[in-house]
Structures are given as structure tokens and as C-alpha cells.
Chain A
Amino acid sequence: MREQEAAARARNFEEVARGYLADDAMRESERCLLCPDQPCVSGCPVGIDIPGFIRRINEKDLRGAYDVLTATSLLPAICGRVCPQENQCEGQCTVGQTLEPVAIGRLERFVGDTAIREHWANIPYIEPNGLKVGVVGSGPAGMACAADMAKAGCEVTVYEAFHQAGGVLKYGIPDFRLPNTVIDAEIGNLEKLGVKFECNTLVGRLFTLEQMITEMGYDAVFVGVGAGYPTMLGVPGDSLNGVLSANELLTRCNLMRAREFPNFDTPQPIGRRVAVVGAGNTAMDAMRVSLRLGAEKVYCIYRRSHKEAPARAEEIHHAEEEGVEFHWLTNPVAVLDDGNGNVKGLRCVRMELGEPDSSGRRRPTPVAGSEFDFECDLVVYAIGTNANPIMGQTSGLRLNKRGYIDTDERLATSLAGVFAGGDIVTGAATVIQAMGAGRRAAAGMKAYLGLRDGNRPYRDGAGDTLFGIDAGERNFARIRV
């Protein structure tokens, strides 16, 4: 795929990967074997008919390809950019056993971008059913749930605490990876389905989940507020000026547009040398944003090795190309003070890998006497998040031991009519997993509301259907008095 030159792009916020041209897409689509067992589909968290859409690209039927994609995926332009395809569809690809796998993500993005450019939208005929659904959080989980419920005929309102909708897609993922225009186009599509977005609304504090059900007339509510409570490292010097979470750095830069300071009011001084702790996608974003804000040196500090790094392969590759210095098997033990409460450096220790731990990854252990210092003026923690406490503080929702929301397999919570999904249930995960959770919650919600789930196939000929309705499907009639 065409990309911006590493040296140039490391100083601007334009998109790195330029995307396929029609010829590239055509050529790539020919590599798909259309194999009958479709391993790629089983690798996709939402089960997109991958060979189906690739075949239509090959037939030059892009509109058809878009129809196939949007039958299951709601936001192809976003997923094509941010899914970790190497662990999902592309990781299962038959071609990939011997050659490079088919670039499914890039093809998906190509179709999604074409749809945005051509103003395609698949707006089904929707018959209003009179039911009201509230969605808390406008990130990927909330967007996916809202779309499904709107298509089912519900009147959907999405509440967002920030002043702009999009959640992590807006405040977290930088423009050079996912441009705001793409997010806004996808939000525009949701609005075309009739979804309303209400920003500046902190659910829980402005009104509670219970109030939504009892006073505000919502028949069901989905909670997809994200994990949103960054973990600090807990080493000496954590609170020095110049130590911040990746969430803060990214929010200041992406949503609050600190890179345009002082034309925008929110500042983010970047310093000369930046050390980012962690090696997930958020860490890669933080490093590449730091470069673009003008840092001379950016270090990645990770206690395990390259192999265990959780980021998408492409992100690590891009970060390397742009000049990030990777320090694998390195663990911070203290942030150093310059005497005025500012960061002067980061003291680290070398690590070595021992026996596998509970996550199956080899446990890193410190090498005695290997301490050394990095000189730096900004330290960014990208080491994960904890559960945000607001929902638990303000409602009777049952939480698990770690503070995340407890749900059953249908993503129903302990409050009747309230469903939850995404990071606030599972802990930090990916955009596509959150979208998958939003859709699963929507399916659960439809069953709860007595709406037939159009996505569920009839089991023809099987004994367990009654007048074409799955006998396992509960509450299929809802009587409103």
C-alpha cells in the first residue's frame, strides 16, 4: 500500500497509509482463493463474509462489496484501519500459509473509503417500533449497539460526556491512523439511521441509569463507557511534572488539538526526549504523536521482548520506520527529579524472560545490578487501564472483583433492561472487539425487548421452531399496556 515517506510523515499528522487505488485493490483481490472452508471468516470477531466482498471487488462491483460488508460490519472504513488483522482474518488466511496473506484489512478500508467518497449508505427501511433505547458512551461499542437497535426500529439516543462523539476513536486514535473525517462520516451514517447524539452529558452524574429506565422512558439501556481510568506505574517519581498517561497525551493532542496551540487553548509541551512505557497500540500512538509534536528522541520502554509486544505488527513497523528507539526487556524502576519537580530521566533495569506466566507469555524478571538511566523530559505511561468507577458509584450495577461491570452471556447486567459491553466489561481490548460486544448486547437487548432478531437465521426443518420463530427465543411477543 502507498505510504507517506517515514521521514516526512513523522512530522505531520496526515494519514500514513494512503490506501489502495482501484488497480491495487483489483490486483490484491485476485490473490484470494475463495476457499470453501473460509478460515478468514472464523477469524473475524463479527464474522464478515470476507470472500464474498473480495469476490465483488474482483468483479468491479464495489457497491456490491459495500453491501456485503455492511451486512455485518457497520464501520468498514474504521475497522479496515484499526483491526489487528494479523491475529484475526489475515492470520487464518490460506494464502498466508505459504505467501503474504491476502490484505483483507486494506481491501475493507478501500471499500469503506470508496463508500464515504461516493456517499453510499445502506439505510434500510425502518419501521419504528415505539421503543426507546439509550446508549451511554459514543465509542465503538456504543456506535455498534446504536446502529443495530436503530435498524431494529428503536428510537436511539447516544450520550457522550465529551463535547464530540466518537469516544476512543476521537480522543485516542490519532488522525494519521484514523482521520476524524472518517469517524464523522460513520457517525453521519448512524444519524441517517435516526440515531441522536447528545454530547456534554455525563450519565451517572447528570442522571442515573435507574432514572433512564424509570423516569426518562428508556425501554433498554446499553452501557459502553470504556475502561477509562489509566494505570500509573507506581514507582517513585510518578507524580512529577512531565509524567502523564498516554490517554492524557492523546486526548490533549487529538481531541483538544494541542498541536495547534495556541490557536487552540489546550497545551501539550512535548520536551526533547520522550520515554513511553508499554508496547501496545496506545503506546505506539503516543510515541508517534510525540514525534509529530516535535520530540527529538522517542524511546519505547517495554519489559518483555518484541515478540510479546501487544501492538499491531504494522504499528510497531511504522514506529520503527519513523525513528522510535525500542528498548525491549527494559523495565522502569523510578522517574528521576530535576530538583524542581520536573522529570529529568527514567531509571530502568534490564529484564530477562523466565518461565511462562498465567497469560502464557514468558515472565520477565530483572537482571541484578543492571540499572541504568535514560535522559528524558517526558515520561508517558501506556500500560493499560482500570475500570472507570463512575457507573459503579452512581448505580446499583453489580461489578466484578476488579470493578468491571458483571454481565451474563447475553451482556445483560444485574439491572433489568440494562446491558453493557466493551472495555467496561472485559477490560481494555480492541475497537473491533468493542464493536462485537456492542452488537452482541444489541442482540440480547432485542430478545429482552421482544424484537425478532433479523440477523438470526431461521432453522428450517429443525424441530425447534414454532411458526418460523425459534423456540429458544424468549419474549417474542411484547405487550405494551
Chain B
Amino acid sequence: MSNYEIVKREDFSDVTYLLEVRHPMMARAAKPGQFVVVMLSEHGERVPLTIADFDREKGTVTLVVQAVGKTTRQMQQECKPGASLYGLVGPMGIPTPPSHARKVICVGGGLGVAPVYPQARALKESGAYVIGVIGFRTKELVFWEDKFGAICDELILCSDDGTVGLHGRVTAGIEQALKKHPDVDEVIAIGPPIMMKSCVETTRPYKIKTMVSLNPIMVDGTGMCGGCRVKVGDEVKFACVDGPDFDGHRVDFDDLMTRLRRYSKEERMALDHWEKGCRMQRSIDQAEGVQK
């Protein structure tokens, strides 16, 4: 059976972790803006994750994951170097087209810092002036500040609670950057839907092109099921094959957020079921330990 080995793992916080998975062919093919679909086990679900980075020489693809649901928590527990994923397919989606923007703000909110990184790097390599705005809830959750800083001409770090950097959300960072640089010609914002929505509303009065990367629920990731459909302007698009990047000013974020909630009850059930299994396993382990 297929075997995608995890070669490196790094924990950014209690909930956020990085995995480097060996897949030389994918590392060669991957481009900024694309995503993969991961299956942890034969019984697993198909989870879309944005490619955070790729190393063509090492032949690895980097994923940054937040443990929120059953599968991402199980991955947090099981995905250690040497372990492997049951399924990994990609790169999926249309790569972010090369931008001719001269001055760009790259905004990453929380986990979104990871997927916006390769885009920021590509822009920097193409000669653009890159302003990074990255935001986290609190100081403990901050990751990749250095990595991001190294490819940005300016970096604004924000935290919701003010424990580090600018006190406020990423939108405050965008406003600050726009005040200093009124000639910004593109904004790229990746993060939770609510954060992307507010970024889009922040840039709308300035009429600055704002690209977002959408993360709806998917099954196959190849356009076959239509579960990831989103409203963009007056059209229905499938994020997996028509995206995942879209013009944020045309995206219906309320629709996206409603659709993201459609399995919340089942997601809760799956998590409970799994945690119960874990507790049982622990008590079995303990009982066996006592016997020995």
C-alpha cells in the first residue's frame, strides 16, 4: 500500500504542528497556492490541507496543521517522524498565477501564515516589495516569524490580546501598512474565513485587488463531488478545481461559513467516539501495566 513517510515534525504550540512528508514527485510539481488531500488511515476521512512549503531537493512537502477535529487531533498524536500517512494526493488546485504586482501585502492569520508563506516568497523572488502582516491570538501561538521576516521587506506582527507585536487583528496591520504605503497594488489574505472576510472589507474601500484562498469541506478534491462549491460573484465555483484562490471582493463569505458548519454535529460525534476509544486504550494499557 501507498506509504508517505513523515520525515520531520515540529510543534509550534499545543495545537499547531508542522509535518514534512516525503513525496519527491509532489515536491517537484508543487507550486504556491496549491493543496493536498491527506488520509491518515484506511478508515480515515479525506482532509484538504494547503501546502505550506516544499523542498525539491529533499523531496518533501510541508504541511502545517491545527488540531481542531478528530482527524487533526489523531494526526497530532500519531504523525511522528518515521510514521506514514495512508494517502496523500496532490498537488491540487490551480497554482497562484504569477503576479505582476510591484508592492504586495501578504496577510496570514493563525494557521494561514503557513500557506501564504510560499506565495510571499514567490513574490519576493519575482522582485516585488513584500509587506508581511501575520496575526495570532496570543504570543504562545506565534510561528514562522523569523522565516517570514527573512523574505519580507517589512513585517507587521499582530496579536489579538496584545501579548506580542501590534495589539489587534490583522486588519489593524493592513490599515497600518496601507497608511505608510498607499501604492500597494495587491493584498493576499489567507486564514480562517472570518479573518479573510474582514481583510476583504478592509481593502474594499481602497479598491485594492485582494486574493483569498478558500478552504471549504471537500471529499475527492478533483471536482467530482461538488461539496466545496462556493459563491463567487453570481457564479458557483468548485474551490478544488476552479480555485482555491479567488478574488476576495467577490466571494460570499457568509455562504462559505454556513457551509463549513454543515457537519458540525457529526464532527463532534466523531471526536467523542475517538476520545472514548483513546480513553479505553489508555485504561487497557494501564491494566496491562499492572498485570506485568
The answer to whether A and B assemble together is yes
A-side interface residues toward B, CB under 8 Å?
161-163, 171, 199-202, 205-207, 226, 228-230, 232, 234, 238-239, 241-242, 244-245, 247-248, 251-252, 256-257, 261-267, 269, 341-342, 388-390, 393
Task: Give me 4 other A-B pairs in contact (C-beta within 8 A), A163-B2, A229-B238 excluded.
Answer: A200-B88, A228-B223, A239-B231, A263-B43
Q: Please tell me if the beta carbons of A229 and B241 are within 8 angstroms of each other in the complex.
A: yes
- Cβ of B219 within 8 Å of any chain A Cβ, yes or no, is yes
Q: Can you list 17 A-B pairs, Cβ within 8 angstroms, ordered by A?
A: A171-B220, A199-B2, A202-B90, A228-B222, A229-B226, A232-B226, A238-B236, A239-B231, A241-B259, A251-B219, A251-B220, A251-B224, A262-B269, A265-B45, A265-B270, A267-B267, A390-B241
Give the 7 A-B CB pairs with smallest separation, nearest first.
A267-B266, A265-B45, A241-B262, A248-B225, A341-B258, A262-B273, A228-B224
For the complex, what is the distance from the CA of A146 to the CA of B258, rounded to whole Å? 43
Q: Of A234, A239, A244, A264, which is within 8 A of B43 by CB?
A: A264
- Cβ of B46 within 8 Å of any chain A Cβ, yes or no, is yes
Q: Please tell me if the beta carbons of A388 and B241 are within 8 angstroms of each other in the complex.
A: yes
For the complex, what is the distance from the CA of A207 to the CA of B28, rounded to whole Å? 9
Q: How far is the CB of B279 from chain A (nearest CB, A)?
A: 15
Q: Please tell me if the beta carbons of B223 and A239 are within 8 angstroms of each other in the complex.
A: no
Contacts of B45 in A (CB 8 A): 256, 264-266
Q: Please tell me if the beta carbons of B224 and A239 are within 8 angstroms of each other in the complex.
A: no
Q: Is the interface of A mostly helix, strand, loop or mixed?
A: loop
Q: Is the interface of B mostly helix, strand, loop or mixed?
A: mixed
Q: Please tell me if the beta carbons of A269 and B236 are within 8 angstroms of each other in the complex.
A: no
For the complex, what is the distance from the CA of A238 to the CA of B87, rounded to whole Å? 31
Q: Of A161, A238, A252, which is within 8 A of B222 by CB?
A: A161
Contacts of A342 in B (CB 8 A): 262
Would you list which residues of chain B between 187 and 227 have a CB under 8 Å from chain A?
219-227
B-side interface residues toward A, CB under 8 Å?
2, 25-26, 29, 34, 39, 43-46, 70-71, 86-94, 219-227, 229, 231, 236, 238, 241-242, 255, 258-259, 261-263, 265-267, 269-270, 273-274
Contacts of B219 in A (CB 8 A): 248, 251-252, 256, 266
How many inter-chain residue pairs (CB < 8 Å) link A and B? 135
Q: Please tell me if the beta carbons of B29 and A241 are within 8 angstroms of each other in the complex.
A: no
Q: Please tell me if the beta carbons of A388 and B44 are within 8 angstroms of each other in the complex.
A: no
Q: Please tell me if the beta carbons of B222 and A390 are within 8 angstroms of each other in the complex.
A: yes
Q: Of A161, A242, A269, which is within 8 A of B220 by CB?
A: A161
Contacts of B262 in A (CB 8 A): 241-242, 342
Q: Please tell me if the beta carbons of A202 and B71 are within 8 angstroms of each other in the complex.
A: no
Contacts of B231 in A (CB 8 A): 239
Q: How far is the CB of A235 from chain B (nearest CB, A)?
A: 11
For the complex, what is the distance from the CA of A261 to the CA of B39, rounded to whole Å? 16
Q: Please tell me if the beta carbons of B255 and A163 are within 8 angstroms of each other in the complex.
A: no
Given contacts A199-B2, A200-B87, A390-B241, contact A265 B71 (CB under 8 A): yes
For the complex, what is the distance from the CA of A202 to the CA of B220, rounded to whole Å? 11
Q: How far is the CB of A171 from chain B (nearest CB, A)?
A: 8
For the complex, what is the distance from the CA of A389 to the CA of B267, rounded to whole Å? 31
Q: Please tell me if the beta carbons of A262 and B270 are within 8 angstroms of each other in the complex.
A: yes
Contacts of A206 in B (CB 8 A): 25-26, 29, 89-91
Contacts of A252 in B (CB 8 A): 219, 225
Q: How far is the CB of A136 from chain B (nearest CB, A)?
A: 12
Q: How far is the CB of B248 from chain A (nearest CB, A)?
A: 18
